[in-house]
Chains A and B, each alone.
Chain A
């Protein structure tokens, strides 16, 4: 590595840091005021890139055309954000925060398919900025002019936002609402207007970030999740609600990534280390380190009342004897399914059972534990890889693999959980996401062992279970058993302790419950169940790829749990079956399954803000408060 290489990478890293900061500042503003974790923020960024490229094409190749396209895209995305707030989120501010999260997931799905419809599946290259296509000479290295502009833009936007927040009445109201929005309302401020305007500004920043990336990065349909994870990392490392912190975090991540690229492959103590491979994971390692050392990021403060929304938490009832009778009857009916179903339906039913277990294990953390995990796919994936690797590399039998996989997943969950339970709320959720992304990128890049992006193929069930019907029975038995076990644990003293810690952390502590320890143990318990689901998944598909633990799988899990309703035992199962079946059903008819599913979820969220099962139960009980 020469100094010139380093410099070139550094400039690139700093330019990236600028757009990263724009993106993250928008997310931070929105979260600060509305307390909505807006997963659709990355989708707005993606729309910014696509929109700017599309506009630039139609406005001609002049400098005026380019910059008008950037500004129009940013303004358009701002409008879109305001629209999303008005049409969806405004109606559910009173609902539990997880529901708002589900609504933003649905928007992610809808936006992705709309982008697919409008712009197609191929990546689209954007035009370069007219007049800024040249390079500046610096220490014998040519630095693109456009990058210089971006580097300057980051601090300028930070300054402008600071001035806006410090010097205008609007800014004062925003800062006040970030601290105590109910009080702001009692002082005569119309929050409806305030929230919508914050959404517009935050979304506009995401759109601007996306539009500015147009000459540097092709528009693609994967940008949404990449952008949202990057933005989360920056916001969390910087400290929620702190613009200065976000700026520092963006710089740090930009520079560290640049260093990894610049270092390339290095010989260290006889080991060959390829640093450029670390770029996928380095930001998550940074986030995990930051949260372990400073639980509220660089400049963040503990959040007041984030998890104490009154009415958000309901009791998970102890099932009556009747419940177990019905559950057993349903299990018996399921066992008889092969008598009437064809192979296709059996495979689908197998999938449903696997994802029901996955969702139930996530629910175990989220429901009784109150521990929201954005990275639950990690345990599913570790289970899947453990089974796949044992079968392929060690030639282990299916039985051994199915027994070992939950242990492997539990071991990972034990380590991750130890760090996670030290945090609360969104920070905890982000750390789970960080761990999941670390595991995912290892699977993606460790070609020699995991097969890299190709994954592992030819992991087939043992001969005695190879038949579709037999495998279905095996899956049903294992999944039903594992779910029953999870339910049993929820209603054992351990489960009560877990719920006590969720509902009244300090009081539970004061009566002698080691809340952190109880929460920690919940992680391997849920992890093992997810690991079993992952192992069954590998054998049902015969292969696996890093996708099994990608962020989209974690999001699927969250959607399943929230769709069914987090307050009920059966919610996650109904949600998983509904989700898996809907996905399959829609996919057979149209490639735009995400659009349909997203709209369906939006409809459900607006109609049943307690989840399907929770709302049905309310209706059946006569709807008393």
Chain B
């Protein structure tokens, strides 16, 4: 799938970051076009989560730049980046355990945004019917799958242009993973742009248009999913366990 260049939504160039003395990213470059789902693939510790956190401003970029709709965002605080239209769904889910489902959604509520789908709790409950049946349940009393639905819904309440989705299939039962894949495909139909970090190639294949492979903090491959499947060498080298 190719998109015209003016549809470029998020672009990272030469991004470096890390924690304390440990540098994790060494010049990461990524592009995300409007309406597409890109899978960021790589092994454990390759730098997937750190890439998403750096894009979101949760980890400071030491070098390189990030643009959202042509506007530089590296160095901004996470709340500003969120308000500019980037949503973040953390790997550990991080639902507010003491808050109910409705309250969790309330925290993230932002005004409607041009060029992005507008979400209300009701629309989210249509997407995840399970959540609608437990509006007053506290986040801490929900199962892992339910928390994963809540954390995605919560981020959508900000009506983001693009969502950074960190390993949504991690730690979930296979049947829930399938449900999650369906929901994400549905989000894509709504026109949401998604950068998905994954280790689960099957899950990524089901929903992604393009793939970027990260290894030791550098992007080693970018291409369509079809190109990735045609390239056994790349898959062998970077994804085989």
B-chain residues with CB within 8 Å of residue A178 when the two chains form the complex: 98
With beta carbons under 8 angstroms apart, the residue of B56, B79, B106, B155 that contacts A172 is B106
Q: Are A187 and B108 in contact (CB under 8 A)?
A: yes
Contact with B along A181-193 (1 / 0, CB 8 A): 0111111111100
Of A182, A186, A189, A191, chain B has the most CB atoms within 10 Å of the CB of: A186
Q: Is there contact, CB below 8 Å, between A185 and B96?
A: no
Which chain B positions have C-beta within 8 A of A187? 79, 82, 107-108, 154-155, 158
- For B158, give the chain A residue with the smallest CB separation: A188
* B56 lies within 8 A of A176 (CB): no
CA distance A375 to B110 in the complex (A): 46
Give Cα A190–Cα B79 distance, bound, in whole angstroms. 6
Q: How many B residues face the partner with a CB closer than 8 A?
A: 25
What is the distance, in angstroms, from A315's C-beta to the closest C-beta of chain B? 11
Highest count of chain B CB atoms <10 Å: which of A178, A185, A188, A191:
A188
* Chain A residue contacts of B78, Cβ below 8 A: 182, 185-186
Q: Any chain A CB within 8 A of the CB of B71?
A: no
Could you tell me the distance in whole angstroms from the C-beta of A62 to the nearest C-beta in chain B?
44
Provide the residues of chain A in CB contact with B96, threshold 8 Å: 175-176, 179-180, 183
> Given A182-B58, A186-B56, A311-B20, does the pair A173, B107 have CB atoms closer than 8 Å?
yes
Are B99's CB and A176's CB within 8 A? yes
Judged by a CB distance under 8 angstroms, whether A310 is at the interface is: yes
Q: Tell me the smallest distance from the CB of A180 to a CB of chain B, in Å.
A: 6
- Establish whether residues B88 and A186, one from each chain, have CB atoms under 8 Å apart when the complex forms: yes
With both beta carbons as reference points, the residue of chain A lying nearest to B83 in the complex is identified as A188
| Residues in chain B near residue A185, CB distance under 8 A | 77-79, 82
Q: Measured between alpha carbons, how far is A311 from B59 in the docked complex, in Å?
A: 13
In the complex, the chain A residue whose C-beta lies closest to that of B88 is A186
Interface residues of A in 201-260 (CB under 8 A from B): none
Please name all residues of chain B whose beta carbon is closer than 8 Å to the beta carbon of A173 when the two chains form the complex: 107
Contact B98 A179 (CB under 8 A): yes
- Answer yes or no: A588 CB below 8 A from chain B CBs: no
Interface pair A188/B108, CB less than 8 Å apart: yes
Question: Which B residue sits closest to A314, measured CB to CB?
Answer: B20
Q: Indicate if B189 sits at the interface (CB-CB under 8 A).
A: no
* CB–CB B20/A172 < 8 A: no
Instruction: Compute how far the CA of A179 lies from the CA of B95 in the bound complex, rounded to whole angstroms.
Output: 9
- A191 — which chain B residues lie within 8 A by C-beta? 79
Q: Taking CB as reference atom, which chain A residue is nearest B164?
A: A186
In the complex, A621 has a CB within 8 A of chain B? no
List B contacts of A190 (CB < 8 A).
79
B98-110 toward A: CB 8 Å interface, digit per residue (1/0)? 1100011011101
Contacts of B82 in A (CB 8 A): 185-188
Asked whether any CB of chain B lies closer than 8 Å to the CB of A169, the reply is: yes
From A169, A175, A184, A311, give the contact of B98 (CB < 8 A): A175
Supposing A187-B82, A187-B108 touch, asked if A179 and B97 sit within 8 A by C-beta, the answer is yes
Closest B residue to A180 by beta carbon equals: B94
Are A186 and B107 in contact, with the CB atoms below 8 A? no
Q: Which residues of B contact A179 (CB under 8 A)?
A: 96-99
Complex: how many Å from CA A178 to CA B96? Answer: 9
Q: Which residues of A contact B155 (CB under 8 A)?
A: 187
* Distance between B19 CB and nearest chain A CB, rounded to angstroms: 6
Interface size on A, residues (CB 8 A): 20
Asked whether, in the complex, the Cβ of A186 is within 8 Å of the Cβ of B58, the reply is yes
Q: Which residues of A contact B19 (CB under 8 A)?
A: 310
B residues 57-112 touching A (CB-CB < 8 Å)? 58, 77-79, 82-83, 88, 90, 94, 96-99, 103-104, 106-108, 110
Do A175 and B154 touch (CB < 8 A)? no
Q: How far is the CA of A190 from the CA of B155 in the complex (A)?
A: 16
Which residue in chain B gives the minimum CB-CB distance to A190? Answer: B79
Q: Mark A44-66, 1 if CB is under 8 A from B, else 0.
A: 00000000000000000000000
Chain B 38-56, CB within 8 Å of chain A: the 1/0 string? 0000000000000000001
Docked Cα-Cα span, A183 to B93, in Å, equals 10
On whether the beta carbons of A172 and B94 are closer than 8 Å, the reply is: no
Given A172-B103, A182-B78, A183-B90: A188 and B110 within 8 A (CB)? yes
Residues of B within 8 A of A172 (CB): 99, 103, 106-107
Q: Give the distance to chain A from B112, nearest Cβ to Cβ, in Å.
A: 13
Contact at A183–B106, with CB atoms within 8 Å?
Answer: no
Report chain A residues within 8 Å CB of B79: 185-191
Chain A residues, CB < 8 A from B108? 187-188
Contacts of B110 in A (CB 8 A): 188
Please give me the residue from chain B that is nearest to A171 by CB atom.
Answer: B103
A184 with B56: in contact, given A175-B96, A176-B96, A311-B20 (CB under 8 Å)? no
Chain A residue at smallest Cβ distance from B103: A172
For residue B62, which residue of chain A has the nearest CB?
A625
Chain A residues closer than 8 Å to B158, beta-carbon distance: 187-188
Across the interface, do A176 and B58 meet the contact criterion of CB distance under 8 Å? no
**CB of B5, distance to nearest CB on chain A (Å):** 29
Chain B, range 130-158, C-beta contacts under 8 Å to A? 154-155, 158
Q: Which residues of B contact A182 (CB under 8 A)?
A: 58, 78
Q: How far is the CA of A184 from the CA of B58 in the complex (A)?
A: 11
C-alpha gap A204/B198 in the complex (Å): 48
Give Cα distance in the complex from A173 to B104, angstroms.
9
Of A175, A182, A184, A187, chain B has the most CB atoms within 10 Å of the CB of A187
- Residues of chain A within 8 A (CB-CB) of B107 are 172-173, 176, 184, 187, 189
Query: Which of B19, B94, B96, B110: most chain A Cβ within 10 A?
Result: B96
Task: Give Cα distance in the complex from A187 to B104, angstroms.
Answer: 10
Nearest CB in chain A: distance from B170 CB, A = 17
> How far is B107's CA from A169's CA once the two chains are assembled, in angstroms?
8
B157 CB to closest chain A CB, in angstroms?
8
Give Cα A405 to B2, complex, Å. 81
Give the distance in Å from the alpha carbon of A85 to the alpha carbon of B77 in the complex.
Answer: 19
B153 to nearest A CB, angstroms?
12
Q: How far is the CA of A467 from the CA of B78 in the complex (A)?
A: 64
The complex places the Cα of A533 from the Cα of B76 at a distance, in Å, of 50
Q: Is the CB of B20 within 8 A of A183?
A: no
What CA separation (Å) do A172 and B103 show in the bound complex? Answer: 6
What is the CA–CA distance of A179 and B106 in the complex, to the nearest angstrom? 15
Scan A253-291; emit 1 where CB is below 8 A from any B CB, else 0.
Answer: 000000000000000000000000000000000000000
What are the residues of chain A within 8 A of B98 when measuring CB–CB? Answer: 175, 178-179
**For residue A310, which residues in chain B have a CB less than 8 angstroms away from its CB?**
19-20
Complex-state Cα separation, A190 to B19, whole angstroms: 24
> Distance in Å from the Cβ of A28 to the closest Cβ of chain B?
15
Within 199-224 of B, Cβ neighbours of A (below 8 Å) are at: none
- Report the bound CA distance from A190 to B107 in whole Å: 11
**Shortest distance from the beta carbon of B193 to any chain A beta carbon, whole Å:** 17
Q: B54 to nearest A CB, angstroms?
A: 13
B38 to A: closest C-beta gap in Å: 20
Chain A residues numbered 150-181 whose CB sits less than 8 Å from any CB in chain B: 169, 172-173, 175-176, 178-180
Report the separation of the CA atoms of residues A310 and B58 in the bound assembly, to the nearest whole angstrom. Answer: 13
Q: Which residue of chain A has its CB nearest to the CB of B107?
A: A176
**Min CB–CB distance B107 → chain A (angstroms):** 5
Q: Which residue of A lies closest to B81 (CB)?
A: A186
Q: Which of A508-538 contact B (CB under 8 A)?
A: none
9 contacts between A and B (CB under 8 A): A175-B99, A182-B58, A185-B78, A187-B108, A187-B158, A188-B82, A189-B79, A190-B79, A311-B20
Q: A172-B103, A189-B107 are in contact. List 16 more A-B contacts (CB 8 A).
A: A169-B106, A172-B99, A175-B99, A176-B107, A178-B98, A179-B97, A180-B94, A182-B58, A183-B90, A183-B94, A185-B78, A185-B82, A186-B78, A188-B110, A189-B79, A310-B19
Per CB-CB distance, the 5 closest pairs between chain A and chain B, nearest first, are A188-B82, A187-B108, A186-B78, A176-B107, A185-B78
Chain A residues within CB distance 8 Å of chain B: 169, 172-173, 175-176, 178-180, 182-191, 310-311
